[in-house]
Structure 1
Amino acid sequence: MKSAAMFSNEFLSSMRHCGDFPADNLISEVFADETQKANFRSFLDSLTYNHQLNRLDDFYAVKEAFLNAKKLPDWADQKLMQQGTAFFAVHATAIMNLLGLLSLPYCYAAADGAKVLDLSERIRNKPEHRLGETADFIWDVMAPNAFEPEGKGFVSILKVRLLHAAIRFYTQKSGKWNQDWGLPVNQEDMAGTNLSFSLIVVRGLRKFGLTVEYPQQQAFMHLWNVIGFLLGVDERLLPETGKEALLLEESIRIRNFKTSEHGQSLTRSLIKYFSTVDATFPQKETMQLMRYLIGDDVADLLALPPQQAPNSTIYFLKLINNFQLFGKGNPRLAYQKQHSAFKKMRSAPATKKSPRFNLPLSLTS
């Protein structure tokens, strides 16, 4: 059981200067040679399924980042993980909506962490890539077979872990990074991101009018703790209970959330993207719903307009999200059906009759 003192300013400040040694060491070695770097990228692109990690060549087979890539932590509880994936399967539609409307804006409010994202023109100018890659990652790690040989969870997590190391490598070499901000994609920022997809999503589901029992919350957060561990997050930053999660989230928020042009720029880009690719998604309602989900204090940091979402919209939103729960008794079938629907919408042209994102009907009426 971790105490409030565990998440002290001193401890979290030290975590801002910690990266992920196994992944950072590998990236530094590989990126020292252009040919080796190109081969490395091709190799990663060739990986799709977990069982492919069983057949590594001699170079990768001895690297710590690969040695532990498909090894669950000793404390991983398979039953809780299965309950966590079942919880996702039931609420997948709402959770995927919360990805862009809550989780990402929440991360953008952490000023120094947002600097890293804003320095990457690919993320700032092409938010569709950020959303698409993150969505694919979530579908991979939340699949019922995510950590089985034919699943994609271990491989997807490894790719993101190495991507984080590559971002640290390039950002520090860019000449635009101030070490007073800590390392790019440091342990504290990774812990905050992990919370944004676990605790913060649970909060969002409750604001969507959905009932989340504490055991369901714990199962979902345990699954994300396992994912965080495999991503290289320090175990001390993986909360075991709801109380610990609340303490950690509050500590990180108080320390890092502040007004910044980086965070506001990323938020504007995200909102513009929603309205560009989905003709059914008015900017005004996007911003109103974001404010409703993240709360006034954080919304003000991101310079969202002060208008509140109408009570009728919130009521209809809750009604629709509860209605969507019907017929989702089998988690595996529910996952497959919603994943197929998501991929179909994502590949379809964005029109008023065919929205690209699986958005609640309250936003499109």
Structure 2
Amino acid sequence: MSKLKLYQNIEFDHLRTLQDPLADQLVSVLVKNPELITQINSWVEIPDEIEASYPAAFQHFFNFYLKQNEFPEEILAQGQKIFDQKGDLYLAMLGFYSLPYAYAFGDGAEVLVRSKRILNDIGRRLGETGTFILDIFEPGAFLTKKKAYLTCAKVRLIHAFSRYFISKYAHDWNDSFGKPINQEDLIGTNLSFSLIVIRGWKKMGFSVSSHEVSVIMLYWKWVGRLMGIQEKYWPDNPKEAFALEKLIRRRHVKSTTAGHQLIQALIAYYKSSIPDPLISGQVVPILNFFLGKEVSQALNIQSSIPVNGELLGLVFKFSGWKAYGTAKGYTQIARQNESNQKALYGDKLEIKLPELNRS
């Protein structure tokens, strides 16, 4: 049955009331037992067996991952091959399209702006997003290398921590925003990391086969499952993906102070940190090009400088060659990413749960 019938306001209004009970129940236990947070952060991967001495919510959450035995092996291998070939362009689209696109979704931006790290430590936050992507697209991820399961589990719990802190301490939260990091927000984020990346490649004139589109969307269906997203609403074909993105965009793109703060922080960071002057000197025009008129207006960013998509594609390709070499692939990208992080922060950035004060 086509999922187009599901893509209605009444369905998605309901999704704004739904969160992720499995993760939320565990976080309510972790805040009372912070030593468990330290233990999770010390893991390299999820242990093969979760001992019965752990709290029930702890067992239920991590056993969910240990029971994922029917994984889409061929899709995972093919998705990792695509990233190996286009990883630099994938990361570029996350930074210049996916993330700023998400900032225009007003109600979701209200969650992001309440994380002071996004505004005040944006470089580290972007670095952690890159770590997440590199973990889930590492050759062998989910198949022979199990670290990716732990990465998904920790990001899922970080979302749950955000929900917990907002519910407890954000007294300015407005119920009209929906519940923090609800199912619609999660689906929209998954789309921005998949469909929007593909759309960005096409905007620059790169050919993307229907097979590649299918593989990337199915890859993120799998990741979405591990992130607590209801698969019922994930599109099964390009027509459904287009309709789903259009519905969420129509429902949520709007001008908000939160969105303006987030995009200005991102622009300032790019202008000061991107080493390639062809990109750092044209940040706003490039963002306008990818985001389009509607989203750019919502974010209150404007430029009269036109951008040629094919030329921009060459600039990004050339930038990738300078950063990773002509034989760039996953290994080179991951190695350079780690080197950059060590130079900036003294160590490789890892996905970690927030350590809580035990006093």
Please classify the TM superposition score into its range, dividing by the shorter chain length: 0.7 to 0.9
Q: What residue is the counterpart of 1:47 in the other structure? A: 43
The 2-side partners of 1:149 and 1:56 are apart by 20
Give the letter aligned to residue 303 of structure 2.
Answer: P
**1:67 pairs with 2:63:** yes
The 2-side partners of 1:138 and 1:30 are apart by 26
Task: List gaps (5 residues or longer) in structure 1.
Answer: 327-331, 351-365
Shift of 1:349: 5.9
SS at 1:169's partner residue? helix
The 2-side partners of 1:342 and 1:18 are apart by 36
The answer to whether the Cα contact below 8 Å between 2:276 and 2:319 also exists between their aligned partners in 1 is no
The 1-side partners of 2:178 and 2:69 are apart by 27
**1:228 pairs with 2:224:** yes
**1:292 pairs with 2:289:** yes
Shift of 1:128: 1.3
The answer to whether the Cα contact below 8 Å between 1:20 and 1:232 also exists between their aligned partners in 2 is yes
The 1-side partners of 2:125 and 2:3 are apart by 35
Does the C-alpha gap of structure 1 residues 143 and 283 become closer, same or farther in structure 2, counting only changes over 3 Å?
closer
Q: What residue is the counterpart of 1:56 in the other structure? A: 50
The 2-side partners of 1:73 and 1:263 are apart by 40
**1:169 pairs with 2:199:** no
Q: What residue is the counterpart of 1:78 in the other structure? A: 73
The 1-side partners of 2:249 and 2:97 are apart by 15
Of 195, 204, 215, the match for 2:191: 195
For residues 120-176 of structure 1, give each alpha carbon's deviation from its aligned partner in whole angstroms, at most 9, with x where no partner exists: 112122111220111100000011111135342101000000111111111011222
Q: CA RMSD in A?
A: 2.4
The 2-side partners of 1:71 and 1:261 are apart by 43
The answer to whether the Cα contact below 8 Å between 2:30 and 2:37 also exists between their aligned partners in 1 is no
For residues 166-218 of structure 1, give each alpha carbon's deviation from its aligned partner in whole angstroms, at most 9, with x where no partner exists: 11111011222122221100000000000000000000111222111011111
Does the C-alpha gap of structure 1 residues 324 and 71 become closer, same or farther in structure 2, counting only changes over 3 Å?
farther
Give the letter aligned to residue 147 of structure 1.
Answer: F
SS at 1:308's partner residue? coil
Task: List gaps (5 residues or longer) in structure 2.
Answer: 322-326, 346-359
The 2-side partners of 1:73 and 1:295 are apart by 41
SS at 2:205's partner residue? coil
Does the C-alpha gap of structure 1 residues 323 and 288 become closer, same or farther in structure 2, counting only changes over 3 Å?
closer
Does the C-alpha gap of structure 1 residues 267 and 296 become closer, same or farther in structure 2, counting only changes over 3 Å?
same
The answer to whether the Cα contact below 8 Å between 1:88 and 1:220 also exists between their aligned partners in 2 is no
The 2-side partners of 1:71 and 1:249 are apart by 31
The answer to whether the Cα contact below 8 Å between 1:73 and 1:226 also exists between their aligned partners in 2 is no
Q: What residue is the counterpart of 2:107 in the other structure? A: 112
**TM-score of the superposed pair, with normalisation by structure 1:** 0.85
- Say which is worse superposed, 112-121 or 273-282, in terms of deviation: 273-282
The 2-side partners of 1:318 and 1:41 are apart by 42
Q: What residue is the counterpart of 1:274 in the other structure? A: 270
Q: What residue is the counterpart of 1:353 in the other structure? A: none
The answer to whether the Cα contact below 8 Å between 1:274 and 1:283 also exists between their aligned partners in 2 is yes
SS at 1:144's partner residue? coil
Does the C-alpha gap of structure 1 residues 68 and 349 become closer, same or farther in structure 2, counting only changes over 3 Å?
closer
Give the letter aligned to residue 17 of structure 1.
Answer: T
Does the C-alpha gap of structure 1 residues 176 and 80 become closer, same or farther in structure 2, counting only changes over 3 Å?
same
**TM-score of the superposed pair, with normalisation by structure 2:** 0.87
The answer to whether the Cα contact below 8 Å between 1:209 and 1:322 also exists between their aligned partners in 2 is no
Q: What residue is the counterpart of 1:212 in the other structure? A: 208
Quote the sequence identity (%).
31
The answer to whether the Cα contact below 8 Å between 2:27 and 2:160 also exists between their aligned partners in 1 is yes
Q: What residue is the counterpart of 1:305 in the other structure? A: 302
Shift of 1:279: 4.8
Give the letter aligned to residue 60 of structure 2.
Answer: E
Of 236, 248, 255, the match for 2:251: 255
For residues 309-342 of structure 1, give each alpha carbon's deviation from its aligned partner in whole angstroms, at most 9, with x where no partner exists: 443xx4433235567999xxxxx98211222123
Give the letter aligned to residue 290 of structure 2.
Answer: L
The 2-side partners of 1:244 and 1:59 are apart by 42
The answer to whether the Cα contact below 8 Å between 1:157 and 1:231 also exists between their aligned partners in 2 is yes
**1:135 pairs with 2:94:** no
Does the C-alpha gap of structure 1 residues 223 and 310 become closer, same or farther in structure 2, counting only changes over 3 Å?
closer
Deviating above 4 A after TM superposition, structure 1's stretches of 4 or more consecutive aligned residues are 281-284, 320-326
Shift of 1:59: 0.7
Q: What residue is the counterpart of 1:6 in the other structure? A: 6
